[in-house]
């Protein structure tokens, strides 16, 4: 069967591999669409320290059940549109024992610590298959990245009395905007790209700030009556935005960190104490986050086409990655259609 592989940095090729054999508690999926995310781009560029090359990328999946093995629950049937929970959990580490399996110490994510989903067929345990009735296979590929943003809002314990600033309006940031709006919060979206900020309005942002052209501090004080946001979700992974989050969040506020900063970050740590801040990491997503995204997409309010920058064939994937690298600010998601 056909697969996409990154053999060495800055190289991507289509290869032929064996079709997987389905085991007793597994489901065989016919892969329809897989999204390229920022970690895949970093893998392609040789900037992902968690990846060992060669690797098959991809963990944002839209698929159809091809067949089910013995001992699979009867509710999972051939022909169903599904997505995939692409993470593993060991069941033994501290995170797993505390029920936070998304942060498993020994997690292996598709396309990162193990081969991913950019293949024609995939066989995996039925527990990792998430039904998405009423959602097309193409749109199923949006569920996983949005769920990461949904999880960050849960980590921030956002409620309807909060003002939430989301820094970075990429795909994951958009998920955070949607979830915060669904919870009734006042949402501020910040980015450097006017197009992304316009989309943020459509999915629930009450206010937008262009950090390239506006004074962020003054705008935040104006929106929040001088208090600052109750919750700031950092979805960029830049030292500057990490520092901004700590500086701008309200006293006794919560800072939720999704992005990985690729260099050291220097903080005025007195603000941690003076403001009595809660600073929280947010990693991957839980099953309930996936279910919440499925329900949101089923409502039909999501501007799905605007979130998909381009759809390509496996043979066109190399050109698409090179174009993304040349102009990363303009891309939400690139989907590969199998």
Domain layout of the chain by residue ranges: 2-142+308-337, 149-281
Q: What angle do CA 140, 142, 146 make, to 5 degrees?
A: 125
Mean pLDDT, the chain cut into blocks of 10 residues (338 residues total): 97 97 96 95 90 95 97 96 97 97 96 96 97 97 98 98 97 97 98 95 97 98 98 96 98 96 90 98 97 96 92 97 88 93
Helix (H, G, I), strand (E, B) or coil at 336: strand
Helix (H, G, I), strand (E, B) or coil at 299: coil
- The pLDDT score that the predictor gives to residue 268 is 87
- The pLDDT score that the predictor gives to residue 90 is 96
- The pLDDT score that the predictor gives to residue 269 is 94
Domain 2-142+308-337 carries which CATH code? Answer: 3.90.180.10
Q: Which fold is adopted by the domain 149-281? A: Rossmann fold (3.40.50)
Helix (H) or strand (E) segment spanning residue 129: strand 129-131
205: left (phi over 0), alpha (psi -120 to 50) or beta: beta
> Sign (positive/negative) of CA torsion 283, 153, 300, 307?
negative
**Phi, psi values for residue 113, rounded to 5°:** -85, -10
Distance CA 150, CA 174 (A): 9
CATH fold match for the domains 2-142+308-337 and 149-281 = no
- pTM of the full structure: 0.96
Distance CA 135, CA 296 (A): 10
Continuous H helices in 156-210 = 171-182, 194-202
Q: What distances in angstroms separate CA 132 from CA 28, 46, 61, 231, 274, one per listed residue?
A: 16, 34, 11, 30, 45
- The pLDDT score that the predictor gives to residue 50 is 85
Beta-carbon contacts of 222 under 8 Å, excluding residues fewer than 6 positions away, are none
């Amino acid at each position: 069967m056909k697969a996409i592989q990154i053999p060495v940095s800055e190289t991507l090729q289509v290869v032929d591999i064996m079709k997987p054999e389905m085991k007793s508690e597994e489901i065989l999926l016919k892969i329809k669409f897989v999204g390229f995310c920022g970690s895949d781009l970093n893998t392609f560029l040789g900037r992902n320290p968690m990846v060992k090359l060669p690797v098959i990328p991809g963990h944002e999946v839209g698929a159809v059940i091809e067949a089910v093995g013995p001992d699979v629950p009867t509710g999972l049937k051939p022909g169903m549109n599904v997505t995939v929970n692409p993470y593993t959990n060991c069941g033994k580490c501290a995170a797993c024992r505390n029920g936070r399996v998304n942060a498993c110490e020994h997690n292996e994510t598709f396309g990162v610590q193990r081969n991913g989903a950019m293949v024609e067929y995939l066989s995996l345990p039925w527990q990792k298959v998430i039904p998405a009735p009423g959602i097309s296979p193409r749109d199923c590929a949006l569920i996983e990245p949005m769920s990461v943003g949904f999880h960050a809002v849960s980590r921030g314990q956002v409620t309807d009395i909060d003002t939430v600033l989301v820094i970075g309006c990429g795909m994951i940031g958009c998920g955070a905007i949607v979830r915060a709006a669904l919870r009734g919060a006042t949402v501020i979206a910040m980015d450097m790209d006017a197009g992304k900020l316009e989309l943020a309005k459509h999915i629930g942002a009450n206010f937008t700030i262009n950090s390239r052209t506006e004074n962020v501090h003054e705008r935040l004080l104006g929106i929040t009556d001088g208090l600052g946001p109750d919750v700031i979700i950092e979805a960029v992974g830049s030292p500057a935005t990490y520092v901004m989050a700590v500086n701008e969040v309200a006293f006794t506020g919560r800072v939720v960190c999704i992005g990985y900063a690729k260099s050291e970050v220097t903080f005025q740590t007195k603000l941690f104490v003076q403001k009595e801040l809660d600073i929280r990491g947010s990693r991957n997503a839980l099953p309930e986050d996936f279910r919440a995204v499925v329900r949101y997409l089923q409502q039909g309010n999501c501007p799905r086409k605007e979130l998909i920058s381009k759809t390509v064939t496996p043979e066109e994937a190399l050109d698409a990655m090179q174009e993304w690298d040349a102009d990363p600010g303009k891309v939400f998601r690139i989907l590969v259609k199998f």
